[in-house]
Chains A and B, each alone.
Chain A
């Protein structure tokens, strides 16, 4: 077990955070939340000032807006997720060249060297989910994901706020960051509490100047802030035994209600931090001498997804919704020993008709 130094930490000022950020920039490509196109998006950033400090995202089913707020880490997670960097929406797997009937292959495997800065508990849990899907629970570990993920430095942030679509407390993934990070930031009244979650995190933390040892009152304050976030969220359903309860409801008539609302637009699967399904396409040059094999995000809502010999096994939209929900909350547990949902609520916010998966689960189970 790595010694995380439980109960130890330092208090730094905003200048202290800037020093930390500069040190991270020296060794990594830093990805952090940034104001972009009117929303908060994970992007590569050059300085700490690019972060959306003092902004607050307000989210409801099918609704998103930004407001001003007092403080720094005043928002929750960005609109996109870290999936965009580790399992990009379009990735060249290999280039194939032809000459005299022979093919030459060039595998395109790029390194990530990422530092993910300002990652919330839900998104951190999503990293664990993706690690299992692509590497740890995969009989053919994905070299592309692994290379992008390897060595990534994670600076996590505890949420002191939640939106109306957040449900990490229901899924048991947040708001408190518990593991999987190198450094953890909690914003307090007089500065930022920094804690290390790994040896390299501790080494970096120890090397920072202008810090003071955190006392018991700071850890009390941290718990208080987390409680504030927790208090905003209600517990929507019980996750104990949820897979079995859902397996028992596969023939429920309720699924058909979704047919009338779901547009099968794939917004939910794209915004989801763990939806991993993809297609492999060929991109050819016009001379037909070179072809790229590219991996692109796909969605179980798309009509071609389960098509075999031109016959789509899941013709109705509600059967695709059932596939998605059952995968997230039942099949995923059988496949990877955890849920495929981290409770971030992105699928609820970004559903154009505001379908709320928390309500759908309750209704599917409702007629138990």
Chain B
């Protein structure tokens, strides 16, 4: 079969490890030596169903990690894969978290729900970097939906990890409430760098609060989620103002995206 140059060509990799995170959410380790960087995403393909943009949650030497929630046809199909099955994808796409901006400063990560998949890898990299102080706030709607429970012990031994649930649960001894309640109590320097990924309303509320604590939106970076179909900056679906989230993002310096992100129906 002739190999043709097409931006939609797919690659193949074996599922080498499968972890059930919670109901309808699975983490896949996929064998590949392709390079990628924290912040980027891949388009995962399901035969006969289509593709879905999924952030790269982490990476080992010979595998990448994807965490997938079954919400649509494509992701429901992917979540049925077993260890040893083949997964097809294209990527990586998009820009990266600018971790070097936080070197020698405080880095605050804020993750909401499945947004933790988009901040996990950069957090892991930050643990190994020259960050002065590393704080990670993670909010989940309930106990059942907590991701990566098996990593918390390691994380909390190396960084300030604050996990909060929207709803109490008998098994949960930790905090209950919104991520903003934690931010409010934190003492943060004005040059703190913030990486944030979560539902749009959470991002807006956090930025407002951070501003009141003297942290400028120029130091806040948000990873956005929009309808990405082609991921190569051509199909137009993911546009927000003049930006294509698929290629100009998904990570945006907040002051550059604010007027489009905060305005209704842009």
Contacts and interface: CB of A to CB of B under 8 A. Distances in A.
Interface in B222-256: 225-227, 229-230, 232-237, 239, 241-242, 244, 247
Interface stretch (A100-108, A117-125, A155-163, A178-186): A100-108
Interface string B1-37: 1111111111010000000000000000000000000
A319 B4 CA distance: 39
Contacts of B170: none
A265 interface: no
A94 B6 contact: yes
Interface stretch (B43-51, B134-142, B155-163): B43-51
Nearest to A290: B48
Given A140-B7, A143-B7, A319 B265 contact: yes
B148 interface: no
Given A101-B85, A313-B265, A306 B49 contact: no
Contacts of B229: 278-280
Interface in B159-184: none
A140 B64 CA distance: 23
Interface in A292-312: 293, 298, 300, 305-309
A121 B3 CA distance: 38
Contact of B47 (A103, A308, A313, A323): A103
B50 A139 contact: no
Majority SS of interface residues in chain B?
loop
A303 to B, nearest CB: 12
Given A138-B232, A298-B237, A306-B226, A331 B242 contact: yes
B185 interface: no
Interface size class of B (residues with CB under 8 A): 35 or more
A103 B88 contact: yes
Interface in B191-246: 225-227, 229-230, 232-237, 239, 241-242, 244
B227 A308 contact: yes
Contact of A134 (B1, B85, B234): B234
Interface size class of A (residues with CB under 8 A): 35 or more
B6 A280 contact: no
Contacts of A138: 232-234
B234 A93 contact: no
Given A288-B48, A300-B236, A308-B227, A107 B4 contact: yes
A293 B8 contact: yes
Given A103-B47, A143-B6, A306-B226, A330 B242 contact: yes
B1 A276 contact: no
A315 B51 contact: no
Contact of B237 (A93, A142, A306, A315): A306
**Residue with the greatest number of chain A CB neighbours at <10 A, chosen from B3, B8, B10, B263:** B8
A143 B235 contact: no
A103 B237 contact: no
Contacts of B4: 107, 109, 143
A86 interface: no
Contacts of A293: 8
A138 to B, nearest CB: 6
B234 A140 contact: yes
Interface in A193-208: none
B100 to A, nearest CB: 22
A96 interface: yes
Given A106-B1, A143-B5, A279-B229, A284 B48 contact: yes
28 contacts: A103-B12, A103-B86, A105-B1, A105-B9, A105-B10, A106-B1, A138-B232, A139-B233, A139-B247, A140-B233, A143-B4, A250-B263, A280-B230, A288-B47, A291-B47, A291-B48, A298-B237, A307-B227, A308-B225, A308-B226, A308-B227, A309-B71, A319-B264, A319-B266, A322-B265, A323-B239, A330-B242, A331-B241
Given A143-B7, A281-B50, A298-B235, 6 more contacts: A138-B233, A251-B263, A276-B234, A278-B235, A280-B230, A335-B242
